[in-house]
Structure 1
């Protein structure tokens, strides 16, 4: 097979993007409105959730309202904003995503993140073993606060030469970053692109269930650190234990010859910028808990913090605006995915099949205990994550269905949110449809099948931790 045919084959096997999958689901759901019987529950106002919730056992068949081509085209628009009723759907969430993207862009443009990590590396030079927990904690912080993913790709070129020169291998370097940030997303606490969006779609404050998420974050991070450190020390003691030992000389020649020492100075300015970065998330939590804040106020907070960082770092008006717009532009796809995914719910609601599906779910879980229910939800989210790797897309797609089902099973909606984010974070450590995974492995020159061989025992450990945590939390809720 020649190179051209190989390239053509790779293109033909390429997995569709989240946009294509979600729009395809809109078409599928619209078709189902012609097949699935229309129905509706009676609803009562739930003061704790501040919304109407379905009452178990009150489902009745109603007049159908099948959705056509025009409804399909309008679904993504209605997902953001319903022009018929002048009701905002997900437009506030999409705006929040764009503003937090601008904030992250301004912080990144200041050089504070790069300088902070480079400083940690220099401080631990000669004690590279302890770089593993320190750096995995740094990347986990980025994952749990703002879903750090694509931003990590810049750090592989920096870390790979250092770890290889210290006697480790490329798998170790890739694991530090990919698992570090990945476990942070898995244990998201205030991640706007997972926890906040999912909680909003589920109708609960994102701070509800945050203690459990901290527990999962801490336990899974510790498991990852121990796992990576044990592997790294085995490789250092015996290079033949490396999963990429056959590429050792090739990798050393590639990474070490191309390595240039990074001499980024970690200035007082950088420290102040990172302090503002962390404090912004603390204020956000306080505002939600004590001030009754939601998307509008949180958007204003991140906008104000971005301006404050700009004033302190003084990049100039033009560079500040460029940094903010570039950061927002990086997350434009996420904002559009939110509207597209919410459009699926719009079609289901308009076609009057949402309550029918809820009724089927109510019947299917009626005999399940709370513990079995939450673990079934976890595995459903694992399966969905392979097809919809976008954390925000999956949140808006699944939470409007899964959260009300939890009411029938007497399980807290916050537990369903935690099950979703843990499942999505776990799958995205290996998901071949997730660009960050494939990009990281390509930069590190680690074949995908060897990454699977390295990580599969850890996935089992993480799954046990997650399921045990969800089960215990359900019992004591």
Structure 2
């Protein structure tokens, strides 16, 4: 063929790269976005809002009407190279340090390495499969309900990263694919954030920044949560059952053998084994660790440091119960952490995009441009434009609390002029960021989950875009109806 090179005599033919090989990795995509943002700092005017301390939020918030152009701060080649490094520990963006999240991921990997070395997980999966034969599909709505509950109550996000390595082997073992496992967790928690009710990192902070009680608009958010959850469950279950009946219809069908070898690599040696007393204790410790994590985050204010300490303590406890010895324990912990090293690195790389924008002083410039775009619209047009604006901003600032503090003091007062209640501005904010954070490449939860699940980003986009469209239509219809009623 004309587009193939002639083989060298006596040499093995060199296969052409597949579409998967030609598509850039997450590392390349994120670094390209850093370069793009750096280029924009040379093209867009630098500007800033004046900021005042908000004691209730514990952060500085922008003052409406105070935007002004400031001296340009174009970002050069050195800034681009420094951005991923600074992204690990920079706190100026109002989001958690990437180093905190990355260390949490590594400790979780070490914990899982120790648990896997005990054989408890794989033997337990075999026992679960035997008991659930014929009823596997009901795992999906139950698990998505639990994750949605975490999303709507306390904004379950980064902490879901610990669940992927637990649930993915189970999903693959019962006949689904890795993408199904990722969707159950990410979409489940994501629709909970979209329909946040008492989420302190989304609803509460945004309402506070808008100057209203967070209970205003609760009824509408409950409706969006319920309808959104039903849509998401139906969508994921339909895809999952299609894959189980015909594995060739999986969006990651070409990775099936590789993913099975990775996630079920110890399965054969545990197929006919019975759980020992030690393994049963280890599984109890394993489950109790996740329960303790949810309890600590929801009720005790834990975050990455405390959660990392919890998983480290649990890893030590599992090692003692398994009585595996000091060297096998440390080897298992280090090997487990090594498996998630790529995830930890990609999280810091994603943070570098926000670092470049802030250092180049174009974040407020983009917000000011969007503020001017939505001014003077009718109430229905305004609330939908506000939804779109928050969606665009969340691509640049994926933190719910960070975006709430950045945008609500500016955009909520505009809703007064458009005749739109401020609680609808808050609902527009949280539904928009809930949808876009299912794909945002700057969001540690997305890039981390896809890296753990070994799901290429472009395959995830093919899977998720119809669901995002349905959720967007649901949100816009609900906001429009609320304005008109």
With structure 1 as the length reference, what TM-score do the two structures score? 0.65
- 1:3-402 alignment, distance < 5 Å: 7-10=15-18, 14-81=22-89, 89-125=97-133, 128=134, 130-134=135-139, 137=142, 145-146=160-161, 158-160=173-175, 173-174=176-177, 178-188=179-189, 219=230, 222-224=233-235, 227=238, 262-366=271-375, 367=377, 369-370=382-383, 373-374=386-387, 377=390, 395=398
Give the alignment's Cα RMSD to 1 decimal. Answer: 5.1
Q: Is the 8 A contact 2:115 2:315 kept in 1?
A: yes
**Secondary structure at 1:146's aligned position in 2?**
helix
How far apart in 1 are the matches of 2:398 and 2:335?
A: 25
**Secondary structure at 1:34's aligned position in 2?**
helix
Q: Is the 8 A contact 2:34 2:352 kept in 1?
A: yes
Q: Is the 8 A contact 1:147 1:185 kept in 2?
A: no
How far apart in 1 are the matches of 2:406 and 2:124?
A: 43
Match of 1:419 among 430, 435, 438: 435
Q: Is the 8 A contact 1:189 1:214 kept in 2?
A: no
Given the superposition, is the C-alpha separation of residues 132 and 273 from structure 1 closer, same or farther in structure 2, using an over 3 Å criterion? same
Given the superposition, is the C-alpha separation of residues 269 and 139 from structure 1 closer, same or farther in structure 2, using an over 3 Å criterion? farther
Q: Is the 8 A contact 1:33 1:352 kept in 2?
A: yes
How far apart in 2 are the matches of 1:102 and 1:407?
A: 42
How far apart in 2 are the matches of 1:62 and 1:399?
A: 26
Q: CA deviation at 1:409?
A: 3.7
How far apart in 2 are the matches of 1:71 and 1:265?
A: 56
Q: What per-residue deviation string (whole Å, max 9, x for no partner) do you get for residues 305-334 of structure 1?
A: 222222223332222222222222222222
Given the superposition, is the C-alpha separation of residues 403 and 292 from structure 1 closer, same or farther in structure 2, using an over 3 Å criterion? same
Q: Is the 8 A contact 1:139 1:181 kept in 2?
A: no
Q: CA deviation at 1:14?
A: 0.9
- 1:421-436 alignment, distance < 5 Å: 421-423=437-439
Task: Please name the residue that 2:470 is paired with.
Answer: 464
How far apart in 1 are the matches of 2:91 and 2:398?
A: 23
How far apart in 2 are the matches of 1:102 and 1:422?
A: 27
Given the superposition, is the C-alpha separation of residues 99 and 439 from structure 1 closer, same or farther in structure 2, using an over 3 Å criterion? closer
How far apart in 2 are the matches of 1:473 and 1:115?
A: 49
- The total of aligned residue pairs comes to 402
Q: Is the 8 A contact 1:187 1:214 kept in 2?
A: no
**Secondary structure at 2:311's aligned position in 1?**
helix
How far apart in 1 are the matches of 2:275 and 2:238?
A: 30
Q: Is the 8 A contact 1:67 1:347 kept in 2?
A: yes
Given the superposition, is the C-alpha separation of residues 124 and 74 from structure 1 closer, same or farther in structure 2, using an over 3 Å criterion? closer
Structure 1 unaligned blocks of 5 or more: 161-172, 245-250, 252-258, 385-392, 426-430, 441-447
Given the superposition, is the C-alpha separation of residues 20 and 361 from structure 1 closer, same or farther in structure 2, using an over 3 Å criterion? same
Structure 2 unaligned blocks of 5 or more: 8-12, 149-155, 207-213, 216-220, 251-256, 258-266, 413-424, 442-446
Q: What per-residue deviation string (whole Å, max 9, x for no partner) do you get for residues 161-217 of structure 1?
A: xxxxxxxxxxxx44xx642441222122799xxx9xxx9899969xx99x9798588
Given the superposition, is the C-alpha separation of residues 376 and 303 from structure 1 closer, same or farther in structure 2, using an over 3 Å criterion? same
Q: CA deviation at 1:67?
A: 1.7
How far apart in 1 are the matches of 2:365 and 2:398?
A: 21
Q: Is the 8 A contact 1:190 1:281 kept in 2?
A: no
Q: CA deviation at 1:37?
A: 0.5
Given the superposition, is the C-alpha separation of residues 25 and 400 from structure 1 closer, same or farther in structure 2, using an over 3 Å criterion? farther
Q: Is the 8 A contact 1:223 1:462 kept in 2?
A: no
